[in-house]
Each structure stands twice: as C-alpha cells, then as structure tokens.
C-alpha cells in the first residue's frame, strides 16, 4: 500500500492549511520539544508563526529516557497546545504514546505523532490508523528503511493513507551527534514510496548549531518539510534545550530556507 510500484503518484497529506508532499513547497513544523506553560506555548507559537512556520509542535506525553525527567503536562498540555495553535492560526501536531491517549489527543490536535520509540508498536499503529487522522510517523532509532515502511503500511492498511514519514537520525557508533542523520533515506524513500517524508534535524543532531545547516541539507536532498525544535528561552527548557533554536535562530533559518527554495 505504501509502495510506489502499486501507487505511482505521490500522495499529498493535508493538515489544515499545510500540505505535505506531491511537489508542494516544504512544510515547516516548529515549536518546543515539550509543552511547559501557557506563556511558553503562546510565545513559542507567536515566534514560529511570525518567522513563517506552517505548523506548531509540542509534546504533552513525553517518552523520556529516564523516569525522573519531566514527563509532560498530559491533557493540561494538550489544551495549552490547542490554545496556542488557535491563537497563532497554526495546525498542531503532538505525540501519542499509548492507545488510551488517542481520544484526548484527537480532540485537541490536528495531526498525531508516533515517536521513534513507538515506530514498531503495532497495536498503536493500527489504532492510530483507525482514527483517520493525519499521522507523523518517526523512524525508529534502529529501524531499517524496510521496517520504517512496514510500520507505515500498518497505518495505511487501516484505510488511512494520511501518513507523513520523518527521518530523525539513527543509532550508530558515532557519539559526536545525538543520532546520525541518514539523509540518503529521503531520496530512497521517495523512490520506493508515494508517501511524503520530512526531516527532524533537531533530534538527529542534538546540537543547536547543526540544526540549520542539516535542515537546509535535508531540503536539498528533497525532503517535503522539516520539524525543528524552537524554544523562547532554550536555557530554561525542560527538555532538549541544547538542540532548540531561539526565535532569532529560527527566524534566520526561515529566511535562508526562502532563498534556498528559490533555487531548488
């Protein structure tokens, strides 16, 4: 179902005013790693909207490596995300970790994110498919391209072809970056599948200074968009501050992407 052999035309996935894939201009999703406070979300949304982002991100249910790290605001966070999306006019995406969270997330979000750690949570994929909501499916940190596409197949097999893939870096022996950005999967996936693919240079690198350059490289490689972490005050972020862009960094990146789009 996800293969181009049986479906040669590229699929466009629409989320509110944003359209991924099928030669539409790249969709830029931006916002904080985690939803922290009303003020942080409203300010984060204002910053990314003003810089020209197409969608707002923010995690309410966070898959943290350790149990003592901030786990997210849960339903309270979903409400803050929705309010920030409405205030800025941006569609919102947030991660679902468990099937039981789906009703609340579907009530507040425009797109469901399945994170790297859940890419092979097959029961979750099936239920996410059944909602009919657009899905942002992130590549598992040790998933092969074939496994990545098989995970997407689970969602599409439920009659939901609104799947956007997201390369977010994979585990390798390299420790200089948080993960290793596997940019070649962008053209490979475009060859093998009709689904859109975007790149998350934030989780792929873990380092703020690498985010803009690798984001630009992703668009050159043909990505249908980017997901970038932006925080009004990264030094105070409860999660992923080291890879979060400031409003100023993000505004500069968006201007650079505009010049880049003109030559792509």
Q: Judged by CB under 6 A, which of 26, 59, 91, 134 binds ligand PEP?
A: 59
Rounded to 5 degrees, φ, ψ at 207 are -130, 125
* 231 lies in the site for ligand PEP, by CB under 6 A: no
* 185 lies in the site for ligand PEP, by CB under 6 A: no
Stretch that binds ligand PEP, among 18-26, 98-106, 112-120, 248-256 (CB under 6 A): 112-120
CA distance 141 to 145: 11
As given in the structure block, the two tokens for residue 224 are 């249908």
* 167 lies in the site for Mn ion, by CB under 5 A: no
* 55 lies in the site for ligand PEP, by CB under 6 A: no
Q: How many chain residues touch ligand PEP (CB under 6 A)?
A: 10
Q: Judged by CB under 6 A, which of 79, 82, 108, 138 binds ligand PEP?
A: 138
Q: Judged by CB under 6 A, which of 79, 203, 208, 231 binds ligand PEP?
A: 203
Which residue intervals of the chain are DSSP H helices?
38-51, 75-88, 102-108, 122-131, 145-156, 185-192, 201-205, 210-220, 247-263
Return the number of the residue (72 or 159) whose C-beta is nearest ligand PEP: 72
* 164 lies in the site for ligand PEP, by CB under 6 A: no
* 36 lies in the site for Mn ion, by CB under 5 A: no
**Percentages (nearest 5) of helix, strand, coil residues in the chain:** 40, 20, 40
Question: What distances in angstroms separate CA 110 from CA 10, 18, 81, 162, 259, one per listed residue?
Answer: 22, 11, 11, 12, 29
Q: Judged by CB under 6 A, which of 2, 33, 112, 155 binds ligand PEP?
A: 33
Phi-psi region of 106 (alpha: psi -120 to 50; beta: other; left: phi over 0): alpha
* 240 lies in the site for Mn ion, by CB under 5 A: yes
As given in the structure block, the two tokens for residue 132 are 């009919």
Binding residues (CB under 6 A) for ligand PEP: these are 33, 59, 63, 95, 115-117, 138, 168, 203
């Amino acid at each position: 179902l996800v293969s181009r052999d049986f479906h040669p035309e590229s699929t466009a996935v629409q989320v509110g005013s944003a359209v991924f894939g099928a030669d539409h201009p790249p969709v830029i999703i931006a916002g904080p790693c985690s939803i922290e406070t009303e003020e942080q979300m409203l300010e984060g949304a204002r910053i990314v909207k003003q810089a020209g982002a197409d969608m707002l991100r923010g995690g309410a249910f966070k898959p943290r490596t350790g149990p003592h790290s901030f786990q997210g605001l849960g339903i309270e966070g979903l409400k803050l995300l929705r309010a920030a999306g409405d205030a800025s006019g941006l569609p919102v995406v947030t991660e679902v970790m468990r099937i039981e969270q789906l009703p609340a997330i579907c009530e507040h979000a425009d797109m469901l994110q399945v994170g790297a750690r859940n890419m092979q949570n097959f029961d979750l994929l099936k239920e996410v498919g059944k909602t009919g909501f657009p899905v942002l499916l992130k590549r598992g940190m040790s998933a092969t391209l074939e496994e990545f596409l098989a995970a997407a197949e689970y969602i599409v097999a439920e009659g939901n072809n609104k799947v956007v893939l997201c390369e977010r870096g994979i585990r390798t022996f390299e420790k200089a970056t948080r993960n290793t950005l596997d940019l070649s999967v962008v053209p490979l996936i475009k060859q093998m599948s009709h689904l859109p693919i975007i790149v998350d240079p934030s989780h792929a690198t873990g380092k703020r200074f690498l985010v803009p350059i690798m984001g630009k490289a992703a668009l050159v490689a043909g990505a249908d968009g980017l997901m970038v972490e932006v925080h009004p005050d990264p030094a105070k972020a409860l999660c992923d501050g080291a890879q979060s862009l400031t409003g100023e960094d993000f505004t500069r990146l968006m201007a650079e992407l505009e010049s880049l789009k003109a030559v792509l």
